[in-house]
Every structure is written in structure tokens, then in C-alpha cells.
Amino acid sequence: MKKCWLLLVMAIAALQVYGGVYRHDVSPEKYKKLAREKQFDCVGMVLTNCGVDYHGDCKFRGSCVLIGKKYVLTAAHCITHVDIRLDTFYLDQNRKRVDSPVKGGAMLILNQPVATCSDTTANFSFRFKDRLYYAVKWQIYKPYLDSVNAKPGVNFCGDLALVELTDTVEGVIPANLNVAFDEQGAIITGVGYGISGAANRVDDLGPFCEKIAGQNMADSIEGYKVKGIPSLLSYDFDSPTDTGYNHMGSAKPLPLEWSPAAGDSGGGVFRNYHGHWQLVGIIVGGPHSGYNSESDRKNCYGGIASCERISVFNDWIRETMSGFDVADMQAVH
């Protein structure tokens, strides 16, 4: 399997999750076949610095979902950057910090994060069916930025961004948004372009940039509340051979049990509701992501992943779209 030429620039080691990971006893082709189904054409890639026909220093940022002819939802952290400052530290002979240089000691220059903000310097593009579409504007859910910049940090919340594209996306049907608050217990299907591989072969996981889809059970509703309603839908990755990896819900894995990870952020979580596919969540990771009781991490079973519940953020999505439309009309007139 050939690795994708796009550079995965996300801080994978820091994300605490493995993604696009599938059961070791199921053929990966079944997961890829599921991802190719037409209802999941609305899941695309987030890229930066791509010129025409992918020329330029093209970099992979994450996944996304088309929710309107020219509107895209993704995870906020896919389109942010962290401002840093250089700090100098002095250590004595015993490697303890001191205020000034001492003989036999050492000097360290470290990158210190200052603030997370919208990445206005990146030339964002969004790939659907091998065509690139460019961002004209975007809006990050403000409480997310407030939370990640708070000192001390506050509860994880609202890792979402809505993007308007310069052109309408052709040949792709936008996702239908779920509006009900009844997701718990449903069979859900996650779709993204993140790191992939068999759950029992951690060393072979890699950024192959392949579209992978898998199933899980919506086990728990928790997290930051919007208008009194919890905003995260969480689920664990159950093992087909060891129930000890179960942390919530049923310990029996689904036929295409799956877990998202780095690069899957911004991708979609769907359910089939009476024959109609609905977008119920955007993959974000969550506060418990990557939980595993085994310290040596022999495999990826037991991981917990989360998505932002679309039902909770519908008002924000509609209001933001309306704001974009008003701005467009003002620009024309």
C-alpha cells in the first residue's frame, strides 16, 4: 500500500488517538468499500497551500463534510495555528532551573505556546472527488477558542468551524443534518482520511490518506453543554477477542468496528435513520480520546473517541450560514 504524497502536518503524537483503525480480523477492503458508498462522497479533505492541480507545497490538515452546495463543516483545530514565543531557561549543574547562567550549567531555548487562533495565513482548500475548492471565509465556534486559550484550561468544547467555499461543489450531495437528540444507542458510521491500519499492528499504522469508514455504537452523551445539552457523543473501540477493552456500552464489536484518529478530525459521523442518512457528528477526538488501560499500548483496542453532536450546534450552523449570506449580499450591492 503506497503512502500518500501529502505531508501529514498534524501533531500526531500529541493527539492521543489512533485513527482510521479497523479490526485486525476483518479485511480492510470492507472498510474502504463502505467509504466509497455514494452517501459518503460528502466527506472530503482539508488541505493548505495547494496550487492549481495540487502544485505547490500541499499539506494535509484533516477531514471535512460538505453540508451545503458551498458550505463545509470541519474541526476547528484543523484550521487554527498556535502562536509561540521563544523563552530562555537556565539550569545549574543539577539540572535545576536558575535565574542566570552558572558554570557547568546549561541554557535551553524553548518554544512556548502563547495563543491558539484562526490560521489566516494558510491558503485552505477542500478536496471532494479529486477536485479542489477554496475557502472564501470561515467561522470558528468562539467558545472553542475561549476554552483552549483559557488559563487554567476549561472544559473541552465546541471544536467546530464552518467554511464557505468560493464555488459550489459539483457532483456531491451535501449531508443532511440530524436535528434530534436521540443519538445514544444508535449504530453510527464514521468516515475520514486519517491514519489507518489494523488495530493489532500499531507499528504499521500510517498516513496513507485513504478514505476509511467504519461502524460503532453511540455509547455515551457527555461533555460541554450548549443551552444545557451535552455536546459530545462518545464511543469505544471494542475488541473481537478480549472484552477487557470495553469501557462503555456493549463489549461486542460491530462487524466493521472502527476507531477514528489523527487526520480523521473534521470527518463525519452518520446514522441511517429510517432509510435516510444523517450527519450526527463531526469527529474531534474529545477529552477521553485514546484511553487504554495497557501502558505499553500493544494495540488500539479500548480507545475512546468523540464527535461534536450536530443536533446541539444546529442553531449556530444556521446563524453562521445566514451571516455569510448577508455578508455576500453586502459585498455585491
Question: Bridge partners of 65?
Answer: 43, 73
Hey, where are the domains in the chain? Answer: 7-81+117-323, 82-115
Q: What global pTM score does this model have?
A: 0.82
Q: Could you report the per-residue pLDDT of 211-221, keeping only the tens digit for each? A: 999 999 999 99
Asked if 137 and 64 count as a contact pair (C-beta separation under 8 A), the reply is: no
Q: Residue 246 CB: number of other CB atoms within 10 A?
A: 18
Query: What residues in the chain have per-residue pLDDT under 70?
Result: 1-19, 52-56, 82-90, 95, 107-115, 151-156, 286-297, 326-333
36 Cβ neighbours under 8 A, 6+ residues apart: 211
Statement: 7-81+117-323 belongs to CATH 3.50.50.60: no
Q: What is the pLDDT of residue 290?
A: 55
* DSSP notation for 80-124: EEEEEEEEEEEE-TTS-EESS--TT-EEEEEEEEEEEEE-TTS-E
- Alpha-carbon distance of 104 to 168, in angstroms, equals 63
- Alpha-carbon distance of 333 to 328, in angstroms, equals 9
- Alpha-carbon distance of 309 to 204, in angstroms, equals 31
- The answer to whether the Cα torsion of 308, 309, 311, 312 is positive or negative is negative
Q: What is the pLDDT of residue 295?
A: 40
Q: What is the pLDDT of residue 321?
A: 95
